[in-house]
Structure 1
């Protein structure tokens, strides 16, 4: 279990799916939540089945008045008991796998957020929820003051892979990765960007002239590129289309990372090819690697690899083979 607590926020991660952790899993989660996330985000009462078999891998972060939780629930979760008082919050559920059901009464009158969907809504009072086994979801709890006027009484529902949700998820993931090193000003900047990106989800439109959103756009482009490195159609144009921005906007956001998007794609393909060169089994030939990672031919791949790593792919493969191996 890992915990961090910078000024203005707190974070922790836990894995109760490992042997020996299940018996104390729920207590560990609740203790860390109350210590790191705080009273502004109280946990509901959970069913005995949930507390007795709490097999969850997750992480949570508090960014001033915003909470971000990532759950992969091996076991199902279910709340129980009497719902709490009226609460004035906005909640967003992004479900990647499984299903997250919300309702006034457990099992009745529910709305289910299925895999591949998101739900964004203002919460007037708490709702019961339950999940199916092996549900993976990101949940954000946000202050209502800046979002309720935009949402009103409506729920915003849509695909989890929409451009705006990709941007929000990329920024939330960056917060998890950098939380320990954020200054109070950094925490506030991270929080403001979360609010702006949630507004983009509600409006289904990204404000491409808002400079605070450039890092999230660049990270979303990286995430998308990394998932499609072997795709022959991968290009700045394709990424801009998927993220619903102009190529110029995407390139401007990416310029702040210190390299062009085209260079990033090339370097990541070279990195994957380098890892494949030393795979313990199923070696591909140099020509096959060049074709798989979308280099024009083996000569082009060899020149690019040597320029980046200082030796040819063939020499690199030989240099990494164990002694005595043919």
Structure 2
């Protein structure tokens, strides 16, 4: 039996005074110099020190609550973050005090890999360890190829194209990761590079649904020392290449992101857009899918699938892991560090 649903996310600052403490939480234990934190803080301060991610997650929770009621599922929805308030440890403590004994967890990442999946399992384990007699928590499956996710992404592309009004190259982006980390992504029997493969497959599905036989998949938001290889090409480098080949306009679809946050509004809406303007390329960015009503319906479908043991609706050819009936249950160490 399930008593509740926990929406688990990354978190983000909601005012200028939050920015540095938030970034210290994100980078804790990594030895990141303060100068680097100050540089990244400027991205947040450019937008008043506020990331939209917490607001968008609260809006998603309200939509999920409405969908749960419509589906006849009487489940309270809780909100916890890895890096900023409400912190997941505090949320799990409140769940315990409310009498929750067992809950499902929807993590705001569609993907395999350490940062996309395993780290959320670590968040769950850490929060449970901090709360005596904590409720059982079970993460819902990866959803990169769920039909409702794909449809929301595809319609975002179509809407963006309509605002441009001329032929454009479709370019999908997702957060880059070190190639070593991607090589370890997924359970051993899924093979290496599962994060990269899932992103490519999601792009294929969304492009087909939107009617684009040709498109590109690129990466963004890399960090760390330059000598460490990451998934490439970078979105800005790719814009340079497209301009050199005569491309006149692009539709950028951040397929790797559930909702807008700093990697979307700074890296794409600011840096990539400025570079496109310098190159004389028309530029439009497709909406992220989290605000689409179908996304909330997908969350409720994942809950119902887990509660009833129904079949998992999937479109992709790559594995999608989790506790759904068609996939193995993710373990804490299913993905490499």
TM-score in terms of structure 1 length? 0.27
TM-score in terms of structure 2 length? 0.27
Greater relative contact order (CA < 8 Å, ≥ 6 in sequence): 2
